[in-house]
Amino acid sequence: MLDIKFIRDNKDLVQMGAKKKHIDFDVEELLKVDDKRRELISEIEKKRAEQNETSDKIVRISDPVEKSEMISKMQALKSELQKEEEELKTVMHDWQSLMVRVPNIPDMSVPEGNSDEDNKEISTWGEIPKFDFTPKSHMELMENLNMLSLERGTKVAGFRGYFLTGDGARLQFALWQFVNDYFLKKGDWFPMIVPSLVRREAFMGTGYLPQGEEDLFKTQDGEFLSGTAEVSLMGYHMDEILDKKDLPKKFIGFSPAFRREIGAHGKDTKGILRVHEFYKFEQVVLCEASHTESVKFHEEIQANTEGIMQALGLPYHVVINCAGDLGLGQVKKYDIEAWLPSENKYRETGSASYFHDFQTRRLNIRYRDDDGKMKFVHSLNNTALSGRPLIMIVENYQNADGSIRIPDVLQQYMNGQKIISKK
């Protein structure tokens, strides 16, 4: 959420940002509602002051006729006040509905574009493997090695359901242990296992609601199943005032993740590239309200994820997302896409974003600066590990006989095992 004063002072910039993001939003409509809101608040405050003044006078009046006239006047004033207060409730509802739809302004370095097809490659790492055989898909490889059961997954969990079995489960556990140790060795990241069943307020605060509700699983009690630990991690300090000396706060959170994939009908229907349920490590940073600090930590969390991919030996490239591929609150975003041999192309494994105070203003997370002024902290997040690197390892490390080499950094977590082959 942007500050309404900032919106009023920079309405052309905000409208330009919405246009660049290809988000349909009319700033003038919001400002008209805000004018009405301000007018009503002013009138209500005047009438309340007049009402208090009249009440004080009535107490001091001894003449019955004059007192009766003053009481009648106050009753009429009270009636007018009640009408304006009811009108303000309606106006505030409209105002709040518009405010949560105002998109954040993309950074100047964000390229123009409509969709992910317009994202720009900015770097590559690793050599794309050259096989002297036709590479198999992760589905074929994993099912042949008893690492994956799709048929039983569908039987138990429905469409996009799956079981990781045997060495498939062990390899996934190894990945989690490796990532946990990776951040543990850095020393300044606070590990957390967070809820995936989360109340609406945290989803509103992070910007996943109200626009993205159709892609969330919802319980009969009104909670939602989160698609990322980001939601819980950001809600952790909701409605709190932090000490400046404690900033930045760096969290590495782990949780199950759930996505309905409503907008992915017909996409990636085979295998486990796109599923309803998976597990995820997420980086979240809360820092001082400084663009320079946000940019610095954006590069840091990006470097962390690239470090993990490099340690795993997975070839990847990094793209900067065009404005049309940014979410409502994102100022700038990078995607990491790892090489998938069976498709002969890169596929996304994670995204690094910063938001300035868009999320923290909604969540009311503040701190006092050195001058004692209250400010909203800035927030950032990035995927440390999703479910997809498992797939990329299986395909990039495959052999002609269908066996899979285990990356060196993971062997210690698999009791020294170097290769997965048919038992």
Phi, psi of 222 (to 5 degrees): 100, -5
353: left (phi over 0), alpha (psi -120 to 50) or beta: beta
- Please tell me whether the peptide bond between 256 and the residue prior to it is cis, using omega within 30 degrees of 0: no
103 pLDDT tier (thresholds 50, 70, 90) = very high
Task: Locate 365 and state its tokens.
Answer: 């997370």
Give me the residues paired with residue 242 across strands: 367
Question: Could you give the angle at which helices 167-186 and 388-396 cross, rounded to 10 degrees?
Answer: 110
The answer to whether 4-99 and 116-420 have equal CATH topology is no
| Catalytic member of 37, 274, 347, 405 | 274
Judged against a pLDDT cut of 80, whether residue 133 lies above it is answered with: yes
Task: Locate 172 and state its tokens.
Answer: 């996934």
pLDDT at 60: 81
| Active site (annotated) includes residue 214 | no
| Catalytic member of 196, 223, 255, 259 | 259
What is the CB neighbour count within 10 angstroms for residue 96? 13
What is the CB neighbour count within 10 angstroms for residue 257? 22
| Catalytic member of 351, 353, 379, 386 | 351
56 pLDDT tier (thresholds 50, 70, 90) = confident
What DSSP state is assigned to residue 398? B
Rounded average pLDDT over 14-23: 96
| Active site (annotated) includes residue 143 | no
Q: What is the mean pLDDT of the chain?
A: 95
Between strands 345-356 and 163-164, the pairing is unpaired
CATH class of 116-420: alpha beta
Model confidence over 348-391: pLDDT tens digits?
999 999 999 999 999 999 999 999 999 999 999 999 999 999 99
| Active site (annotated) includes residue 388 | yes
d(CA 100, CA 21): 16
DSSP assignment of 233-273 equals HHHTTTTEEE-GGGPSEEEEEEEEEE---GGGTTSS-STTS
> Residue 3: CB partners within 8 Å, gap ≥ 6?
361
53 pLDDT tier (thresholds 50, 70, 90) = confident
* End-to-end CA gap in the chain: 55
Q: What is the largest CA-CA distance in the chain?
A: 107
| Active site (annotated) includes residue 348 | yes
- Segments of 135-202 assigned E as strands: 148-149, 163-164, 190-193, 197-198
381 close to 229: Cβ distance less than 8 angstroms: no
What DSSP state is assigned to residue 133? S
pLDDT above 70 as % of the chain: 100
Task: Locate 211 and state its tokens.
Answer: 């626009």
| Active site (annotated) includes residue 152 | no
| Catalytic member of 84, 143, 261, 348 | 348
Model confidence over 261-304: pLDDT tens digits?
877 677 888 899 999 999 999 999 999 999 999 999 999 999 99
Nearest Cα to 178, choosing from 273, 277, 307?
A: 307
d(CA 254, CA 228): 9
139 pLDDT tier (thresholds 50, 70, 90) = very high
pLDDT at 65: 80
Question: Could you give the angle at which helices 167-186 and 291-311 cross, rounded to 10 degrees?
Answer: 140
CATH class of 4-99: mainly alpha
Site of tokens 């019955």:
64
pLDDT at 267: 83
Sequence ranges of the domains in the chain: 4-99, 116-420
74 pLDDT tier (thresholds 50, 70, 90) = confident
User: Chain-centre distance of CA 378, in angstroms?
Assistant: 13
Model confidence over 149-195: pLDDT tens digits?
999 999 999 999 999 999 999 999 999 999 999 999 999 999 999 99
